[in-house]
Chains A and B, each alone.
Chain A
């Protein structure tokens, strides 16, 4: 008995002592003092206590760097350029950085610890990225596995974005998922309505965020988004445009078409929209309306293989096949692509072979 008590006391004593040493060490050793982060040559300066990751620091300062993995160094999105004070590139970063990027000082901000003063550069448009609270005003069924979520912004109550850009939606923990995740969705609303953000979301089997959107998110519920992000947008060049999309890749084009309508944009647009079956296509009526209101816009839905119950008198096959049947030469065109990575890769190949220069192919890949 005595020995048992002694044993417990001895071991817990040693463990407590070691824990104490670690706590004290953390206090004194892991103190980095005050550090200053200079962003974009003095546009913004942050002074803070060192020791955290750069990504966390920037997020706390409401500077939203895109990140899908939450700082674990697995998505490779949170790139920033560090001019001074970043230290050597870590082995955890190298898989995500090209040789060129490493030379320019591009780093993954989640892997960089703020331990001294830093001089960093982040893309200008990220400085205008903000966090918004909104209410999910309405949820509409578009197809059997796609819904449109209409969000009304609360605070701030309006958003400035370029049609084609995306926002990140915060998916809170819910039964079945115990962490917060952010997922990116293109804005699919009329840019003239600045207090409203529409998201077109296709259900991904077992997807963390889409499951939440489809099963837990209710009309009237508060949500949080941040944005806008992304380079995908209509160019200023009035050259004829070829849009290619599949499934929920429709989203950015809705916004872009609204923009064209407001601006009385007269450039010719051919929009190829593909689905496996007729039931995969959404917003066909809305597209018909754009055909009537835009000067030179043709919407071409393409169905790979209509289901046995479905009637379809439109085009059949893959979108890429439809494009190569329709055109012999696309040299004057600019191509805008949005859809799954597989579709985009196939589409890039086709439009390149039809003579569109690489610099004039714009796309958003949704992995």
Chain B
């Protein structure tokens, strides 16, 4: 594959990760922070931003660790352990750096970082990268796109839930109940994108 071809694939993968293959709404990964931290647009944006950043970086790091270490040593089955360790260490490191150099960014993003260390969407993104046999550049596109897709979904949910505060929801459905129903409706809407990239 030439570089321009690869770049093109990366862009397509990135775009489809946002819309047609949305990691949250079509693959249903990362549901717990999605339901619990989507009460306010501001916090949803903070968490989503953190997810975009961590997902992009860890997919790339894990690609390197997988292809340059595990594949070489014939230890592919160890990817689960390795990916988790790398994600955890990376999140720790980033938290330390922004705590030191950018208190303002830390205030907006930092408190969410420990939360997403154990987010299944983050690990899922790295595992899909392996299953789908992406190259490094395509993985970059995939990681970034998956993150943005997650951000988009939680942002939309937070917007809807803020309006929901003023609407009359049947008592039994308040909280997680109505949130899951809305998530289902949103997922249906996202299926509408599925024909876009055949």
A7-B75, A11-B78, A29-B96 known; A18+B111 contact, CB < 8 A: no
Does any Cβ of A come within 8 Å of B81's Cβ? yes
**Cα distance, A25 to B78, chains bound together (Å):** 26
CA distance A271 to B6 in the complex (A): 85
Mark B79-107 against chain A: 1 for CB-CB distance below 8 A, else 0: 00110011001001100110110011001
User: Is B111 within 8 A of A21, CB to CB?
Assistant: no
Interface size on B, residues (CB 8 A): 23
A46 at the interface (CB under 8 A from B): no
Contact A14 B111 (CB under 8 A): no
Main secondary structure, interface of A, reads helix
Q: Which of A85-93, A251-259, A283-291 contacts B (4 or more CB under 8 A)?
A: A85-93
Closest-by-CB residue of B relative to A3 is B74
Q: Nearest Cβ distance between residue B85 and chain A, in whole angstroms?
A: 5
In the complex, whether A115 has a CB less than 8 A from a CB of chain B is yes
Whether A14 and B103, one on each chain, are in contact in the complex, defined by CB atoms closer than 8 angstroms, is no
Separation of A182 and B128 alpha carbons in the complex (Å):
50
CB <8 Å contact, B111 and A92: yes
A91 touches B74 (CB 8 A): no
| Complex CA–CA separation, A90 to B104 (angstroms) | 10
* Chain B residues within 8 Å of A91, by CB: 43, 107, 111
Contact of A10 among B73, B86, B97 (CB under 8 A): B73
Closest to B46 in A: A91
Given contacts A14-B65, A14-B69, contact A29 B92 (CB under 8 A): no
B-chain residues with CB within 8 Å of residue A192 when the two chains form the complex: none
CA distance A115 to B74 in the complex (A): 46
A18, A26, A29: the one contacting B86 at CB < 8 Å is A18
Task: Tell me if A239 counts as interface (CB < 8 A to partner B).
Answer: no
Closest Cβ of chain A to B116, distance in Å, is 16
Cα–Cα distance between A15 and B104 once the two chains are bound (Å): 31
Q: Beyond A11-B81, A14-B69, is A6–B75 a contact (Cβ under 8 Å)?
A: yes
Number of interface residues, chain A, beta carbon within 8 A: 23
Check A25–B86 contact: CB distance below 8 A.
no
Complex alpha-carbon distance, A182 and B104, angstroms: 33
Partner of B103, one of A11, A15, A18, A115: A115
Other-chain residue from B82, B97, B103 in contact with A88 (beta carbon distance below 8 A): B103
The reply on A75 being an interface residue by CB < 8 A is: no
Which one of A10, A32, A87, A115 has the highest number of Cβ atoms from chain B below 10 Å of its Cβ? A10
Q: Tell me the bound Cα distance from A88 to B111 in angstroms.
A: 14
Chain B residues with CB under 8 Å of A22's CB are 89, 92-93, 96
Assess the B107–A90 pair: CB atoms within 8 A: yes
Q: Do B73 and A87 touch across chains, with their CB atoms under 8 A apart? A: no
List chain B residues, Cβ under 8 A from A26.
Answer: 96
Asked if A30 and B81 make an inter-chain contact with CB atoms under 8 angstroms apart, the answer reads no
Residue of B69, B78, B97 touching A29 (CB-CB under 8 A): B97
Contacts of B89 in A (CB 8 A): 18-19, 21-22
CB pair B82 A14 closer than 8 Å:
yes
The answer to whether B73 and A6 touch across the interface, beta carbons within 8 angstroms, is yes
Q: Which of B65, B69, B96, B107 contacts A25 (CB 8 A)?
A: B96
In the assembled complex, 12 residue pairs joining A and B whose CB atoms fall closer than 8 Å, in A order, are A3-B74, A3-B75, A10-B69, A11-B78, A11-B82, A14-B86, A22-B89, A22-B96, A29-B96, A29-B100, A30-B99, A88-B103
Please name 12 further chain A to chain B contacts, defined as beta carbons within 8 Å, in addition to the given A22-B96, A88-B104, sorted by A numbering: A10-B69, A10-B73, A10-B78, A15-B85, A18-B89, A22-B92, A25-B96, A30-B99, A87-B103, A87-B104, A91-B43, A92-B111
